[in-house]
Amino acid sequence: MNLVLTLRRRAHWLNVPTLSLLALLQRSPAMQLLSTAAEYVASSPVGAVLRSAATIAALGALHSRAGATELAASSQSPLQAKVGSPIPIVAFGLIGTQTPASSWDIGGELPPGLDINGRTSLGAFNTSTPQLSGTPTAPGTYELTLSGSDQGFVSPMFSYVIVVAAGAGATAPSFTQQPQTQTVTAGANVTFTASASGSPTPTYQWRKDGTALNGATNSSLTLTAVTAANAGTYTVVATNSAGSATSNNAVLTVNAPGVAAPVITVQPLSQTVAPGGSATFSVTATGTSPSYQWFKDGAAMLGATASSLSLSNLSGGNAGDYTVRVTTAGGTATSRFARLRVEVPDPGRIANLSVRAPAGVGGQALTVGFIVSGGSKPLLVRASGPALAAFNVPGTLPDPTLQVHQKINGNDTIVATNNDWSADASNAAAVSAIPGPFPFANGSKDAALVLNVDSDRTALVSDTSNAVGVTLVEVYDVGSGNTSRLVNVSTLNFSGTGDNVLIAGFIISGNVPKTLLIRGVGPTLSDFGVGGLLADPVMEIHAKINGVDTVVASNDDWGNDPNAAAAAAIPGPFALKANSKDAALLITLPAGDYTVQVSGANQTTGNALIEVYDLQ
């Protein structure tokens, strides 16, 4: 049974950075997502600049063992520094040697903004006294390794640590515009564009396949007359004094003129296999005389050059993410990742849906739908407003009220409601007893309740005083077993641009992959009387792979996906209009945490519906 959609166009929302949302969602077990947290260390006062390297012997050594060869430094390790403040010049020498060192081998990592004797590259230095100086531009903990030598003598390798704290009043970069994947014909010009907020204004460094591109330091990167050598994965790193952020991957595919690039029509599928078992991955693609190369965790596999890859007698060493690159005369195509887990299979379910969006009164109420099949299941439903202030989310909903609706005998009926989660002692006890979600403060104005659900429900969140603000709505499956389970979760709201695109997160529990139908619906909602629609939804599914936010699948226009016919044949979901601009993917995903982002093509905005259906 599908949701009855009744809402009208939402107002454009407050500027809440996506990374702030993701940092918050990471506090929930359902949302170990797209962001990485930078570490900040408290700074200490910066000392006076050392005027003469000749005083090094009087300034003491890092170690005090008499007679031993030791590294001496004019400032003790770790050196405490702050972004934007010059460090005292640090001079290095050796004690416990008959003659001073005349050359040095220096490795490790030099903090951005610092140099050694005017050089920003490390390696061999022909000098008796290396001197570290400059003004740090990025926070972090950095380690230098130093070894001095002279007349055949080589000292041990010593360590020197520099701890750089963020400057006061600075904010780390956050991407407001991501570079986009492109497919072009050889000879074309290509431009990747990105934009990041932050204070001070960030600088940019583009990378190809993880390697920095010389001179590529603008917010856009233009490649002229591209060839096959330009094909690869492009990212850009935005940096300021408060930290750095890395953009999403943008894959450039370069096709030969007049020859169509291969298209993967059957993707390799994730699998969970018990130790000692076997697994086979396979791919099907269009194109003449395709060649294949399989990769495990990004590294090419020796001899794995067929359309299928068979592995036997599996152990933990075989676990990982597998992809295959298909190459023809027309270009290349890389498959989605297929995750192999070598464990005793533990089937799971959709365990959580999390949505951050604006909520208000009337037509601006935030709508979240969920369906349980196979019997009754206890669910925890929460609407956070004041609790979000602890995560530095501005403009939060002051006093959310939560209503759960059900259609009974054809009539829309409120079957559960909550305003102020801890006002009722029994409700507070039931909510507090559930482990995992970040806690609400006793007496807060946040809303939450636990209820048994046996079919479809719709949760509406608004404010008791007609206020408008940001809220986080979460639905948790808190029951046991998979006989009854969430088979559909969905949210309807306004999708803006940049940080304000519509985002929903979900988790697949257990360790066995699940086949899902995921949709980003705009134009077809007109059949249900919804106005102000997103005319051309573009949908991306994100996951964190090896610590990096990765677009694991995307779709623009559902009929263009190779699985479109299979998706349309699935009973239950309302049919999408033929040749519509709605987005949809029929996909098998390994257990884990995901976000679905729906935005408008060409920076358009409007109402959209995200749906996730469990088909197993």
Reported as a single tens digit per residue, the pLDDT across 542-596 is 988 766 778 889 999 998 888 888 888 998 889 998 889 999 999 999 999 999 9
3-state secondary structure 131-173: EEEECCCCCEEEEEEEEEEECCEECCCEEEEEEEECCCCCEEE
If one compares 500 and 489, the residue with the highest pLDDT of the two is 489
Paired residues of 538 in beta bridges:
556, 599
Helix (H, G, I), strand (E, B) or coil at 72: strand
Q: What is the pLDDT of residue 48?
A: 19
In the chain, domain spans: 53-165, 171-255, 264-342
Residue whose structure tokens are 């479109």: 564
Ordered alpha helix ranges (H), 26-180: none
Q: b/e map of 284-306 (b: 16 or more CB within 10 Å)?
A: ebbbeebebbbbbeeeeeeebee
CA atoms within 13 A on the CB side of 363: 11
Q: b/e map of 250-274 (b: 16 or more CB within 10 Å)?
A: bbbbbbbeeeebbebeebbbbbbbe
Ordered alpha helix ranges (H), 141-254: none
Q: Which of 40-49, 159-168, 607-616 has the lowest mean pLDDT?
A: 40-49
Tokens of 466: 């007609």
pLDDT at 50 over 80: no
Tell me how far apart the alpha carbons of residues 502 and 521 are, in angstroms, rounded to a whole number. Answer: 12
Reported as a single tens digit per residue, the pLDDT across 158-190 is 889 998 887 777 788 889 889 998 888 888 999
Amino acid identity at 557: D
Of 101, 143, 141, 142, the residue nearest 124 (C-alpha): 101
Domain 53-165 of CATH type 3.40.50.300: no
Domain 171-255 of CATH type 3.40.50.1820: no
Answer positive or negative: Cα dihedral of 228, 230, 231, 232: positive
Tokens of 81: 């520094």
Q: What is the pLDDT of residue 363?
A: 53
The reply to whether domains 171-255 and 264-342 share a CATH topology is yes
Answer positive or negative: Cα dihedral of 552, 557, 562, 568: positive
Q: What is the pLDDT of residue 9?
A: 25
Reported as a single tens digit per residue, the pLDDT across 123-146 is 888 888 999 999 888 888 888 989
Tell me how far apart the alpha carbons of residues 133 and 87 are, in angstroms, rounded to a whole number. Answer: 6
Angle, alpha carbons 501-553-368 (nearest 5°): 45
Tell me how far apart the alpha carbons of residues 131 and 238 are, in angstroms, rounded to a whole number. Answer: 29
- Within a 10 A sphere around the Cβ of 191, how many other Cβ atoms? 11
Helix (H, G, I), strand (E, B) or coil at 547: coil
264-342: which CATH architecture? Sandwich (2.60)
